[in-house]
Chain A
C-alpha cells in the first residue's frame, strides 16, 4: 500500500512516518510550503513549520527512514483558506482558529488530493488523535490530544487518513525518535502559529487586512468600556483582543476585568467581571457531522469550546443549519469564531464555529 505522510519537519510527523515505514508500506514524505518563510528566516525568526530549515529537516528525516521526500507549494490555498479568513475574523471582532481551518481546507483538502494523485491509498499525519472503526477519537496523551482541531476533517477523510501517534504519548514519541536516530527527536514543540513566526499575530493582521482592501479602522486603538458603557481604558486594536482575556489592555481600577464582547463597528471592547464573562448557550454554525443526531434531534454531550478548555457537559440540539449548545453550568471565555467541538466521551461527534453566545 502506498502511503503519503504529511511531514512538517517536526518530530511528530517524522515519527508518524517511521511507524508507517515499520509496517512495511511504500511510504512517501511530503512537506507543504504554506507561506514564504525565507524573509523570516533571514531575520532570524525561523523554525516555523514551512521554513526552508524545516523542509530540510523533513528531508533529512526521510533520508534516515529511506523514503522519498517532496515539497509541494500550497501557498495560494493556504493564503486563501487560512490566512485571509484569519485576518477577516479578527477584523470582524471574532477569534479565529486557523489550525482547524488548515486541517479542513489544506491537509484533508488539497494535500489529500495530491496524495491520491500520487497513487496513495492513505494519508498519514502526526496528529495526536485516533480513528477507530470510522470514529474520530481523542489521542491517548491528554496533554497532546489534537482531536479538537480535527472535527472538520470530514467524514470521507476518516477512511482515507491514519494517525499513527494517536495511541502514544509525546514522551514515547521522543524516545522512539531518539532510538531511530531521527534528526529532530529533541526539536522543541511549536507553540505558535506557523505563519506568525514572531508570535505577533497583530502585525500579520494589519499588513494583510490592508492588502485585502479591508477597512482597518477597527485595528486602531479604541475604548474599553464597562457594562454601563463607561469608558475605563484603552485597547490597541480589536484584533489584539479575545473574549475572556484580561491582560493586554490599559484599564483603570484594580478589579479583574474580562473581555465580554468586541464591537468592531465602534472599535469598542466591553469588559466585566468573571461572572459576567460566562456563557450558558452557544449557537454553532457550519456544522460538521461525524456522528451527530439528525436535524430536530438532540444529544447529551461534552462540549469543548476552545483548545485548552475542559469539555463541559451540555445538551446539544441540532437545527436545520446550526446547533444550539446548552451547558449545564455556564462556561467562561467562549469566543465567536472559535470551534465548539461535540464529544461523546472520547469520540468526536462533530462541531462547528461559534457564531453567537448567550
Chain B
C-alpha cells in the first residue's frame, strides 16, 4: 500500500507508539484533576506534554489548551472568542477566506447565523492572500474583531505568510485577534506562535504523527473565551472534561519530533514532491495552487476530462491512497469549495485529486503512482467521454 493521503491523517510514528505503549502499561495514573498521588502522576504526564507542545510552536505552556483535535480547536477559537468579544461589547466580526477547512468555515457560519458580521477576503487563482488586502478590509470594516486564516491549506498545500498577515492586521486594527489554523503546517513548515504574532493557533496530533483524538488551541495565557462545554474546570475552564492523558502524551511526543525534524522532513517531502510534479506534468496534469509557497508535501492536480473520483478509485484499486478533496454533503460529493474559490468551474473542480506525501514517501512510491496513473488515465478518459455523450 502506498499512502499519498497524509493530509487526511498520518500513521502513528513508531517512536510515539512505543512511548504511548509504555504509558498504557503504567498502573499508577489516575485522573489528572485528582489531588492524590495517582492524580499528580497523571497531571505530570499532561503537563509534560503541554510543555512539549508549547516548546514545539514557541508558545508558553499556560497558553496551551488541549482539545480533542483540530476541529475542536478551531471551533473553540472562533466561537469561543467571538462570543466573548461580543459579550464584552467589542468588535466581534470575523474576516476569513473561502479556502478554510470546514471546521473553520462551518464555525464561522454558526457565528453568521448568530448575527456576527462575517467577511471573506478575496484570493487569486492560485489561492494566494495579500496581507495588504487583509489590512484594507480590517480598516474599512470596524466591526471585525477576528481574522481567521490557515497557515497551510489542506487541499492545495499553499503556505501563507502568517507573520506578514498578522502584522498587517494589527497595523490596521490594533485590537484584532488573529487566529491561525496551523493543523496542516506543523511538521511541514516552521511554526512559531510568538514569531508569527498571532493570538490563537490550532493544532491536531494526528496530522503530525500523533494519535487521532488530541489537539490544542494555543493562545496568550490571559485569553478570555466562552467555553463550548460545561461541567468542569479543566484547562482553566476553557475546555472542561477529563484530559485524555494517553492521547495528550502521544501528542506531546509527536509534536516535539515534528518540530525538531521539520527541516529534514520538509526537504525530504519537497524533493519527492518535485519528482511527482514533474511526472504529473508529463502526464498532462494541471497543478492547482501556489507554485512558489507550499508545504512541500501536497499536490492538487486535475486531469482534463477525468473525474477526480475515478482517479481516486483507480489508484485505490492499485493500492494507492489519494483523496479528491471533495466535500461530502450527506454522503454526496460536492465539488471542492476551495477550488471553486480559485475561480474554477464545477466540472474542473470535479477533476481535482489531492496527493499528500509523508517524510517517508520514497522515489519508488512516486514512480509507482505515476505508473498507475499512466495506466488508469486512458481508460478513465475513454469512459469520461462516453459518460458525457450519454447525457
Binding site for B on A (CB under 8 A): 2, 28, 33, 36, 38, 52, 55, 68, 70-73, 75-77, 80-81, 105, 109-110, 113-114, 116-119
Give a binary string over B372-391; 1 marks a CB under 8 Å from any A CB, 0 the rest: 00001001101110110011
Q: 4 nearest interchain CB pairs?
A: A117-B383, A38-B330, A52-B331, A113-B383
Give a binary string over B112-134; 1 marks a CB under 8 Å from any A CB, 0 the rest: 00000000000000000000000
Residues of B within 8 A of A38 (CB): 330-332
User: Closest CB of chain B to A244's CB: distance in Å?
Assistant: 33
Q: Contact check: which of B314, B333, B384, B386 meets A119 at CB < 8 Å?
A: B314
Residues of B within 8 A of A72 (CB): 309
The chain A residue sitting closest to B310, CB to CB, is: A117
Tally A-B pairs: CB < 8 A: 62
Contact B387 A114 (CB under 8 A): yes
B interface: dominant SS? helix
- For the complex, what is the distance from the CA of A109 to the CA of B386, rounded to whole Å? 9
B172 within 8 A of A: no
- For the complex, what is the distance from the CA of A67 to the CA of B8, rounded to whole Å? 22
**Extra contacts besides A68-B317, A75-B332 (13): CB < 8 Å:** A28-B317, A36-B332, A38-B330, A38-B332, A52-B330, A55-B331, A71-B331, A80-B391, A105-B390, A116-B382, A117-B314, A117-B384, A118-B313
Q: Contact check: which of A28, A36, A52, A81 meets B391 at CB < 8 Å?
A: A81
Residues of A within 8 A of B383 (CB): 113-114, 116-117
B13 within 8 A of A: no
Contact A77 B330 (CB under 8 A): no
Contact A110 B390 (CB under 8 A): yes
- For the complex, what is the distance from the CA of A285 to the CA of B376, rounded to whole Å? 40
Query: Which interface residue of A28, A68, A110 has the most chain B CB atoms within 10 A?
Result: A110
Residues of B within 8 A of A116 (CB): 379, 382-383, 386
The chain B residue sitting closest to A75, CB to CB, is: B332
Contact A118 B317 (CB under 8 A): yes
Are A119 and B376 CB-contacts (below 8 A) given A80-B391, A110-B387?
yes
Chain B residues numbered 299-338 whose CB sits less than 8 Å from any CB in chain A: 309-310, 313-314, 316-317, 330-333
The chain B residue sitting closest to A28, CB to CB, is: B317
Residues of A within 8 A of B333 (CB): 73
Binding site for A on B (CB under 8 A): 309-310, 313-314, 316-317, 330-333, 376, 379-380, 382-384, 386-387, 390-391
Please list 6 pairs of residues, one from A and one from B, whose beta carbons are closer than 8 Å in the complex, sorted by A's number.
Answer: A38-B331, A70-B313, A72-B309, A77-B390, A105-B390, A116-B383
- For the complex, what is the distance from the CA of A205 to the CA of B253, rounded to whole Å? 60
- For the complex, what is the distance from the CA of A109 to the CA of B389, rounded to whole Å? 10
Are A33 and B331 CB-contacts (below 8 A) given A110-B387, A114-B387, A117-B384?
yes
- For the complex, what is the distance from the CA of A114 to the CA of B316, rounded to whole Å? 15
Residues of A within 8 A of B390 (CB): 77, 105, 109-110, 113
The chain A residue sitting closest to B329, CB to CB, is: A38
Residues of A within 8 A of B313 (CB): 28, 70, 118
Residues of B within 8 A of A70 (CB): 309, 313, 316
- For the complex, what is the distance from the CA of A118 to the CA of B318, rounded to whole Å? 10
The chain A residue sitting closest to B326, CB to CB, is: A73
- For the complex, what is the distance from the CA of A2 to the CA of B309, rounded to whole Å? 18
Residues of B within 8 A of A119 (CB): 314, 317, 376, 379
Residues of A within 8 A of B380 (CB): 117
Residues of A within 8 A of B310 (CB): 114, 117-118
Are A113 and B391 CB-contacts (below 8 A) given A28-B317, A55-B331, A118-B317?
no
Residues of B within 8 A of A71 (CB): 331
Contact A118 B332 (CB under 8 A): no
The chain A residue sitting closest to B309, CB to CB, is: A72
- For the complex, what is the distance from the CA of A2 to the CA of B317, rounded to whole Å? 10
Query: Which interface residue of B310, B314, B331, B379 has the most chain A CB atoms within 10 A?
Result: B331
The chain B residue sitting closest to A110, CB to CB, is: B387
Residues of A within 8 A of B376 (CB): 119
Query: Which interface residue of A68, A72, A80, A117 has the most chain B CB atoms within 10 A?
Result: A117
- For the complex, what is the distance from the CA of A357 to the CA of B185, rounded to whole Å? 70
The chain B residue sitting closest to A55, CB to CB, is: B331
User: Closest CB of chain B to A106's CB: distance in Å?
Assistant: 9
Residues of B within 8 A of A81 (CB): 391
